[in-house]
Amino acid sequence: MKKVTLLFLVVMLEGLLFLGAGLCSAQEVQRGGVLRFEYDWIPYVKDPAADGVGTGNVAKNIAETLTWVDDQYQPHGLLCEKWEASPDGKEWTLYLRKGVTFNNGKPFTADDVVWNFLHWLDPATGSSMRDRLSMLSPEGVEKVDDYTVKLHLDRPFYGIPWVLSAYPAMIAPEGGWKDFYSGNPEDAIGTGPFLLKEFIPNERMVLVRRNDYWRMGVDGKPLPYVDEVVITPFADDAARLAALVGDELDIVPGALGEGIIGELRKHPDIVVKTIDLPWSSPIMMRCDVEPFNNPLVRKAFKLVVDREKLRDLCMPEGRLAYDHWVHPMHEGYCPCTDMYYGKQDIEKAKELLALAGYPDGLEVDLYTPNTPAHRPALAQAYAEMAALAGIKVNVKILPSSVFWDKWMTWAFSVSGWSGRPLATDNLSLGCRCGAAWNEMYWCNEEFDRLLDEIEGTIDVQKRRELLCVAQRIMQEDSGMILPFWNVDYMAYRKEVHGYSYVPMMFATVWLSSP
């Protein structure tokens, strides 16, 4: 069968650094130093493959993935050097990088990759990778030789290189980890540029340089450039602001509250970037519990929204959104569903509540994390709008760590979702019947069948036509209220070079002298 080589990356082009630094020379790069990095929560996770909170975003610097995705959502090779797809999109060949070792000395081979695929696909693992790879069965994973793996898909899928960059796809050695996040450096086995030095969940993670990492810097020596990375969660925006201004932090990679951006921009030694990607803070209704198991109630709760007002109050630099998860930047986005959708209609909301058996309204609790600041603000503003239709919303603001420890249990909550490169990514993760991250507990079999067809459609225009239907189903039936898309803000001190927002990779970061 004729193959089509889609993408590959010659990884030695490490001279291309991020943050707009462009090409740099060996004379410009400085080695050494400690990078101080803020990440809003780093809880303990028993199995990185089942990580649903994001500790793996930073741990990917210890245990790498097969691919990585850049700030334009384009995939590149990492442990998988290149890949090929059959013309029908049902067979993918992964060519693995040779000469790579885990930090315990074990060579990296196809046996490790095959084991990880089978681990992800095992329902007992509880990995979101099983939902991302819903078109792949365990029988479809084939070891060709020590450095080649074939995936025989049950149906066509165009997005394999993107899927393999996700943080639950960190590659473990064959047989898995004993307890990756135990805090014992010997348990954190991976192929990445850093070793674990210390981990206290939700308090501190310290990474130190690995001296025999396989990638080279522009100076011809092994990456990384910095000696150490100290990752610390901060309680609130005031603490982040004080730490950045006081030279106690180098990077806050995102989730900065809008209220401190103006103050940060006053400081010439701090750079603030606005990130416009498909990140979201949807209000989620659990469709398996009262009152949200009634679609009339879900529709009424959507009709109370004045999305322009919510956007202007909570995310003034953000785009409007229309109760579905396909962003205008996604390939295949369908604008038709959004042109006349989403106008506030209080009387219609009251009418639907009466039909659902709530003629006098109802009372619900709405849970939200306390950070970033726009989420509790969204909850409060939504409560005021809902009151117009006789819905009493009791806003429950929780510390982020408490909220996210139970994020799949809340009946009504303001959630938070990362932007992902494919239009179908979050749809598969959070909308399929029984998906590991389906916090709406929504199940629409027509939607699932449609999603299968979308993921197997190579032609963009046909995919757009199918997405028009999927977007409409979400608007009419799902438990999601999405009035706006988030923008995010990244701030870093001007001495920082080589950091990129999406991949969160520390290998190419270097620090110049103040």
Domain 185-275+488-511: give its CATH code. 3.40.190.10
Q: Confidence band (pLDDT; 50, 70, 90) for 223? A: very high
From the list 481, 450, 483, 485, the residue with the least C-alpha distance to 464 is 450
In the block, tokens 């028993």 appear at 46
Residue 324 exposure: Cα atoms within 13 Å on the Cβ side:
26
Answer yes or no: CATH 3.10.105.10 is held by domain 278-487. Answer: yes
The highest-confidence range among 15-19, 273-277, 470-474, by mean pLDDT, is 470-474
Which pLDDT score is estimated for 27? 66
User: What is the value of pTM for the model shown?
Assistant: 0.79
Q: Confidence band (pLDDT; 50, 70, 90) for 16? A: very low
Count Cβ atoms within 10 A of the Cβ of residue 478 and give its class: 0-12 exposed, 13-18 middle, 19 or more buried. Answer: buried
Pairing mode of beta strands 75-77, 80-85: unpaired
- Residue 27 · residue 510 · CB < 8 Å: no
The model's pLDDT over 330-346, given as tens digits with 9 standing for 90+, comes to 989 999 999 999 999 99
Q: Confidence band (pLDDT; 50, 70, 90) for 237? A: confident
The whole-number average pLDDT for the span 379-387 is 98
- Residue 69 · residue 421 · CB < 8 Å: yes
- Write out the two tokens for 75: 């995939």
| Spans of all domains in the chain | 4-25+47-169, 185-275+488-511, 278-487
Q: Which helix (H) or strand (E) holds 321?
A: none
- Residue 488 · residue 275 · CB < 8 Å: yes
Answer yes or no: CATH 3.90.76.10 is held by domain 4-25+47-169. Answer: yes
Lowest mean pLDDT among 27-31, 181-185, 463-467: 27-31
Q: Confidence band (pLDDT; 50, 70, 90) for 24? A: low
Three-point CA angle 176, 179, 181, nearest 5°: 120
The whole-number average pLDDT for the span 99-116 is 98
The one-letter code for the residue type at 359 is: P
3-state SS, 443-493, equals CCHHHHHHHHHHHCCCCHHHHHHHHHHHHHHHHHHCCEECCEEEEEEEEEE
Q: How many other β-carbons are positioned within 10 Å of the β-carbon of residue 185? A: 17
The model's pLDDT over 112-163, given as tens digits with 9 standing for 90+, comes to 999 999 999 999 999 999 999 999 999 999 999 999 999 999 999 989 999 9
